[in-house]
Amino acid sequence: MRAESFIVNTWYVAGFSSEFPEGKLQGQTIAEKPIVMWRTAAGEVVAFDGRCVHKRMPLKDGRLLADGTVECPYHGFCYDATGACVRIPSQTDGPIPSRARLKAFPVVEQDGMVWIWPGDRARIGNVRPPRSPEIASPDWDSHGSDPIPVPANYRLLIENLLDITHFYPLHDGNVGDVAHSRIPVEVVEEVNDGNRSVKTIRQVQNYRQPPLFVEWFGYDVVDRYHTHCMMSPGLTRVQMRTAPPGQLGSDAERGFVLYHTHTPVDRTHHVWRWFMNSRAGHRARSDASKPLVALMVEGFPQVVAQDLWALEKQQEMYDLPDDGYEEIHVKTDRAMLIVRKVLAAMETEDKADVSPAKLAVAQS
């Protein structure tokens, strides 16, 4: 299976809510769609085809004017918050063609994230973006990363997140070691509101934590409950609960909920964001004035950099012809293989022709 495709008909994260202050025009490519986005004066984030209807100039390079319209930087066509062209500077004496309108993309803002559906809106049905309630909750301290451009297909990140055996050797000495890679993996596949999810659970008792977790939580030997869940092709949730032996569920428990977003740009690039959350009031052991989340946010980028390095290297290999090459999988790859199956099924549905003409033929 080559890592050179992506699902179009699903919700992807276009950014955290904080990336969309009012008055800021921003553009990005999601699933090979050039998209321009902004937060309107009414507070709503809107998203449109980012190509000016006149001569394809990218509107992200234009300006958001004081009257709330977006001006193309080439000949100045202006668009309102519904995507309609409302002004053509060089032509003030005639009607604006009614077709001069940007195609709108569905947007949902919830739980501190802005989601976009880059595919066919007729296929949304009742599929909603998965929830990430900790991000917007006062019960949690939260911190989101900047967007991280990754020169690799987004599936490689999802597979990485569902495959914890890479904690040795890739993360040896910070969040991993060889004992970590041997913790048994339980795989749970479930369906969640039209978003197909795959989850791994790894439980261990009397376990000696790798160094970064000792620094974060202050316990050398713990009972630990660790899950990774691909909630949809756009979002993976990681939870760690850790406490001295026998004390999970007590006030001594420490841990985090960590969201990873994986948004395809094209077949060989995606944008990765992460959002770290810890219980409000939990402090760093080494410095009681510092929220635990701040300590974790300092240390986590070194882990991300290691994964980034691996994803780039894998993509370099995917870019070459297979030439008879075949992957060999082991027992601990089970979750990854289920993820591949789920994503492949979604891609098949994605490509299925559900045009009215085709449906009419199927029903006759």
Q: How far apart are CA 237 and CA 231, in angstroms?
A: 7
- Residue 79 CB, shortest distance to ligand FES, in Å, is 10
What does each C-alpha distance from 48 to 17, 38, 87 come to in angstroms? Answer: 17, 9, 17
**54 interacts with, out of ligand FES, Fe ion, none, CB within 5 to 8 A per kind:** ligand FES
Contact 239, 111 (CB under 8 A): no
- Residue 48 CB, shortest distance to Fe ion, in Å, is 36
Q: Which residue is nearest to Fe ion (CB)?
A: 307
> Looking at 31, 45, 52, 158, which residue binds ligand FES (CB under 6 A)?
52
Encoded amino acid at 82, one letter: T
Beta bridge partners of 78: 71, 87
Identify which range of 19-27, 109-117, 121-129, 299-307 contacts Fe ion by CB under 5 A.
299-307
**307 interacts with, out of Fe ion, ligand FES, none, CB within 5 to 8 A per kind:** Fe ion
Phi, psi (degrees; rounded to nearest 5) at 98: -65, -25
Identify which range of 54-62, 115-123, 169-177, 207-215 contacts ligand FES by CB under 6 A.
54-62
Q: How far apart are CA 269 and CA 78, in angstroms?
A: 31
The first and second tokens of residue 94, run together, are 């005639």
> Looking at 77, 219, 225, 272, which residue binds ligand FES (CB under 6 A)?
77
Phi, psi (degrees; rounded to nearest 5) at 71: -105, 125
Total number of residues that touch ligand FES (CB under 6 A): 9
- Residue 349 CB, shortest distance to ligand FES, in Å, is 36
Contact flag: residue 57 with ligand FES (CB under 6 A): yes
- Residue 160 CB, shortest distance to Fe ion, in Å, is 6
> Looking at 74, 100, 127, 208, which residue binds ligand FES (CB under 6 A)?
74
**77 interacts with, out of Fe ion, ligand FES, none, CB within 5 to 8 A per kind:** ligand FES
**47 interacts with, out of ligand FES, Fe ion, none, CB within 5 to 8 A per kind:** none
Contact flag: residue 55 with ligand FES (CB under 6 A): yes
Q: What is the DSSP string of 149-216?
A: EESS-HHHHHHHHT-GGGGTTTTBTTTB-HHHHTS--EEEEEEETTEEEEEEEEEEEEEE--HHHHHH
Match 């029903």 to its residue by tokens.
Answer: 363
> Looking at 163, 177, 307, 333, which residue binds Fe ion (CB under 5 A)?
307
Identify which range of 49-57, 104-112, 121-129, 287-295 contacts ligand FES by CB under 6 A.
49-57
- Residue 87 CB, shortest distance to ligand FES, in Å, is 10
- Residue 36 CB, shortest distance to ligand FES, in Å, is 12
Q: How far apart are CA 269 and CA 5, in angstroms?
A: 10
Q: How many other CB atoms are there within 10 angstroms of residue 63's CB atom?
A: 14
Q: How far apart are CA 46 and CA 59, in angstroms?
A: 13
Ramachandran region, residue 31 (left: φ > 0; alpha: ψ -120 to 50; beta: rest)? left
- Residue 94 CB, shortest distance to ligand FES, in Å, is 15
Q: Which residue ranges make up the site for ligand FES (CB under 6 A)?
A: 52, 54-55, 57, 72, 74-77
Interaction site with Fe ion (CB under 5 A): 307
